[in-house]
Structure 1
Amino acid sequence: FFVFAAAMTVPVKSIGVSLLACFVTFVLAYLFVISPLRAELLERNQDLVRCQDHADNVQIRYDELEVAQEKLQKYLNEEKENSERLSGSLQESERQYKALSVQFATLDSQCSSLDTRVMNLEGERSLQSTRLADCQQESETCSQNKTELASNASRLKSLLDLEAANLKKCMEANQEEFKAIEAMKHVLAQREHQLRVLNNENYLCFDRLEALERGKVNNVSNESKQDDTEVMDQQSQKENEEVEVSNASSILLEENEADSSIELAYELGENTTDMSTMLENTTDESSALDNEEEAPTTLEKQPETNDPYNAYIPVLSSDLEITTEVFEKEEQYLEQLLQNYHSTNSIEYDAE
């Protein structure tokens, strides 16, 4: 460019100037263009050498890497085989783990059951310990009770001996009472017979009273026939009075005999306190009943002056009531004697 510019501007005649211009341009071009290009080329050559060296190094490294890759491939194959083996072993281990987990669950449940059983056993042990303490206390109390029972047995033996002697005495007294009861039974049979006779006589007396009342009514209506009938009635009444007086005297004699036998029986039965208290109660009740019953009989049955039987009927009724009360008292007394006899027999059986 500089050469072309110098050639265009400089005339042909001045060749030296053009050469100088060329030289100057060449120097300038060398200084500013060729030297930096040369330096750059040298640097590039150096870089190329470096690159060649680096390429050689890379080739060497590549060869080394290929060898390493082969080794790695072998190692990978081995690792793959190992991984397959490990996968199989892992599957087996998983199966074993599942089996072990099941076994662990069963063992856990067994452990929980064993824990509960241990707790129950501990509770039972505490209960057994308390029971053992209670048993020891009971054994001590039993030993004390045995000694007390032995002492009580000796005392009871002595008491039983005394009771046996008392029971023998009671047996003798009961035999005497039994004899008295047999006598009272005989007396009661006689009294029952007397009561029946008195009842029959009482019914006859009431029938006669009714007949007399009817006769009174008929006498009021038929005064003309009264004279003839009165004579016959008086004769029959006198005969009946004589018969009744004889019967009453015989009954009074029998009652006196029965009272004497009853007194003997009471004297035999005075050994027991129950009999005496019962007799006192019966006597009090009989006196009260007599006092209560005497008033209405006297008020209800007032004798009439005209009839001869009216004076005798209240006496018979009072005698009948007294005999019935006596019979009731005697029956109560006999029942009490029988109860005492049975109670003494039961006491003897218990003592034996």
Structure 2
Amino acid sequence: MDKKIGIGIVGLGNISGAYFTAAKHFPVLDIRAVADLDQSRAEAVAAEHGVRAVPLDAMFDDPDVDIVLNLTIPRAHVEVGLRAIGGGKHVYSEKPLGIDFAEAKTLIEAADAAGLRVGCAPDTFLGGAHQAARALVDAGRIGTPVGGSATMACPGHERWHPAPGFYYDIGGGPMLDMGPYYITDLVNLLGPVAAVSGFATTPRATRTIGSEPLKGTSIEVKVPTHVTGMLEFASGAVVQMLMTFDVEGTRHPRIELWGTDGVLSVPDPNRFDGAPELLPAHGAWAEQEVTQPFGDGNYRSLGLADMAHAILEDRPHRASGALALHVLEVMESILRASEERRVIALTTSCARPAPLAESAIAGA
């Protein structure tokens, strides 16, 4: 299939370079224009990549743009998404879909009413490592999933990020920042979540930036930075979760699934690569072969490419708005469960994304 989908990028921060690099793997993606609040930044990026720099307002009416790739900060995701929908564009957003479930729901409703699509990162669950893990679960290699764990533990992004303040502002924190990778992959593996509970704390009121150019600057912490949750899936499996910016590290596996006939260790859901490890009943741990595509690099345009092909082929896309909205409700509900000291039933569900076949991206 030679037809291309025109992409316009809004927001040219730290992550935009990864999208430009990965998009080269997918001929269906044609990045045609960029926009940023800082016009000089937009012009510099446009010159580097041979595309047009356009004023922000002009992006949403640009006739060459089919999908607005929304790489703005989380608190602007819904606002920018609604402007894209209002201009008749599909939109694919960096994670999370929004910082408020009710607000993000309006984006999905607006897109549905307009007959347009919403897609959202993360798309790492489409990588070879996670599709291999999905195949093992689907093949019954661990039997019936009973439970599991999901753990992300680090000392905070202020050690490396050049402008980490937004990680500790409203809409930030480890749950909304890193939770999407873990919960999205869990939905890929186990299906939708039915109910959650949780506890959240904020051990430090301020953080000190350790990276340039703001090294030594103090950041006020406005969100919980140590969050634990329990997720009850519609399938009956129960998973315990930890997302924290307050510990030096951990030896816990990123994701581990426990079944009636075995245990599966799943690689880092923030990456596309790695290999699952399987412990069968009465057996020994063994690394599993990964034959699925997109497991040998950073493909942070894979979900966007799948969405572009899905538009051309009139089929559902995998990194969908419905999936992202469900994940956002899970995260928000864990934080709300901590505040309200109760179990919260989810109001949304979503289809478990279809396994990824290479032909679904290659257009064969």
Report TM bin, short chain.
under 0.3
